Amino acid sequence: MADLQADHALLIEAVREAGALARVFFEGSFKTWEKYPDDPVSEADVAIDKLLHQRLYEARAGYGWLSEESDEHARDADRVWVVDPIDGTRAFIQRKPEFTVCAALVDQGRPVAAAVFNPATGEMYEAVAGGGARLNDKPIRASARPDLAGARLLASQRTFERNKWIEQTPGASFKYMNSIAYRMVKVAAGDFEAAISMTPKSDWDIAAAHLILEEAGARSTTVNGDELDFATLGTRHPSVLAAAPGVHDQLVGMLKGREQA
């Protein structure tokens, strides 16, 4: 446990430093390009990735590394740093404060330490396995709402209307944020009852937020209700449903079988 606590402290320090660098870029100027069609990246992503690699990977001999921007010996270690330098790059490029710096330590396929930091708002969400989840050092818990009536959902209202689910969510409100990790930790903090992504995500998108959600008492699965598997590093997850316990199963009943390729 002492070893894990030291790793967690290192993780928080590194993510805070990375967030400070992200803030400099966010408030200044930076170059952008497309890695693939409709897949933007910025020089901030690259610079933050390099910083986190130095602070985390180079500080722990024998640990692996997996990042959206780089992959180094990821599958050769029991413990692996899983990093997304900027989750929500589109929001970052558009100067919207809805992006996060995400990092997790995954031990034999299970996230055990995590941080999701929004440097534009100063929100630091973090957790260590078995130690609960916190926002800026204060404990957080998922919503206790028992059903979807009046639920606050991080999802597209059009999706619910188009699929004729809207009548199953009377009084629900809908909002969308670009960063899936940010949406997930908002559920962990009880600000929303659920965050839904019907499209595939990678380990680096969700590993950190997954642990924070679980430690806050929420559930993080696919929309089919299947557990998220981090045992094979770099795996793609077909969808993500982050939900308070009282609404999770109801949402699975509505969404199951409707994942998008």
More confident call, 144 vs 168: 144
| Dihedral sign of CA atoms 84, 249, 174, 150 in order | negative
Summarised one tens digit per residue, pLDDT across range 200-230 is 999 999 999 999 999 999 999 999 999 998 8
Domain end (from 84, 104, 139): 139
The model's pTM = 0.93
Task: Give the strand pairing for 110-118 and 123-128.
Answer: antiparallel
Residue 147 forms part of a structural domain: no
**Span of 135-149, 166-180, 197-211, 229-243 with lowest mean pLDDT:** 229-243
What is the number of domains present in the chain? 2
Residue 223 carries which DSSP code? T
| Two tokens, residue 252 | 């699975």
The range of the structural domain enclosing residue 208 comes to 152-255
pLDDT beyond 70 at 7: yes
Considering the domain architecture, whether residues 31 and 135 belong to the same structural domain is answered as yes
CB-side neighbour CA atoms (13 Å) of 46: 10
Task: Give the strand pairing for 173-175 and 152-154.
Answer: parallel
